[in-house]
């Protein structure tokens, strides 16, 4: 269904009531574009703490990042920060690119002696974004955690990485196109 602001606000206002009554500690939103966020911030009593959005080197959403950093107190949380190389086949399309194979990302990783994944994570961390990479592999979990303690990328490296944006959104909502009598278990 399309975004209908007054219906969204009915739900959001209920969350504000739950917050006021102490049932929840904070409110977060996801996938809010700049226009939707402006409407929400205009009409809400309590601003959301976070906006969780898809962010990775090939889908940088620079205008959304700048908006959140410069004009709101709402923190961005990036999901799929590595480009989700192991996502299900149903979420793959021919025009998708593979972030972790990008030659610039690979080269900067070699320059620093880091893994490509660590460089991808450090890039968005350095942009002021909290990240939620997904892994079930203990060594990758450790690698991801260690990326927060790496030294900053140079300004020149950051500029090179900003140029690899391909506006390649990986999740388009297709995961919600369930057939009748199906739920997320059937996807």
**Tokens representing residue 104 in the block:** 């610039």
The whole-angstrom separation of Cα 151 and Cα 112 is 9
Mean pLDDT of the region 21-41: 97
- 166: CB partners within 8 A, 6+ apart: 58, 59, 97
If you average pLDDT over every residue of the chain, what do you get?
Answer: 91
Residue 183 pLDDT exceeds 70: no
Give the pTM.
0.88
62: its two tokens: 């620079």
3 or 38, higher pLDDT: 38
- Say if residues 95 and 169 touch (Cβ distance below 8 Å): no
- The residue count of the chain comes to 187
In this predicted model, what pLDDT tens digit does every residue of 52-82 receive, in sequence order?
Answer: 999 999 999 999 999 999 999 999 999 999 9
Q: What is the pLDDT of residue 86?
A: 78
How confident is the model at residue 171, as a pLDDT? 81
Q: With CA atoms as reference, report the closest residue to 169 among 78, 66, 108, 69.
A: 78
């Amino acid at each position: 269904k399309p975004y209908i602001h007054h219906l969204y606000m009915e739900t959001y206002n209920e969350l504000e009531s739950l917050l006021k009554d102490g049932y929840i500690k904070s409110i977060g939103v996801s996938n809010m574009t700049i226009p939707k966020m402006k409407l929400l911030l205009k009409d809400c009593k309590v601003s959301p703490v976070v906006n969780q959005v898809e962010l990775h080197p090939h889908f940088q959403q620079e205008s959304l990042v700048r908006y959140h950093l410069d004009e709101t107190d709402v923190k961005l949380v990036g999901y799929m920060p590595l480009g989700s190389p192991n996502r299900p086949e149903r979420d793959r399309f021919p025009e998708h690119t593979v972030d972790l194979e990008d030659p610039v990302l690979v080269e900067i990783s070699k320059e620093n002696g880091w893994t490509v994944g660590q460089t991808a994570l450090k890039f968005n961390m350095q942009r002021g974004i909290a990240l939620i990479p997904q892994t079930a592999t203990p060594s990758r979990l450790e690698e991801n955690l260690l990326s927060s303690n790496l030294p900053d990328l140079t300004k020149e490296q950051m500029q090179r990485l900003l140029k690899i944006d391909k506006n390649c959104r990986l999740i388009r909502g297709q995961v919600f196109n369930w057939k009748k009598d199906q739920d997320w278990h059937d996807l």
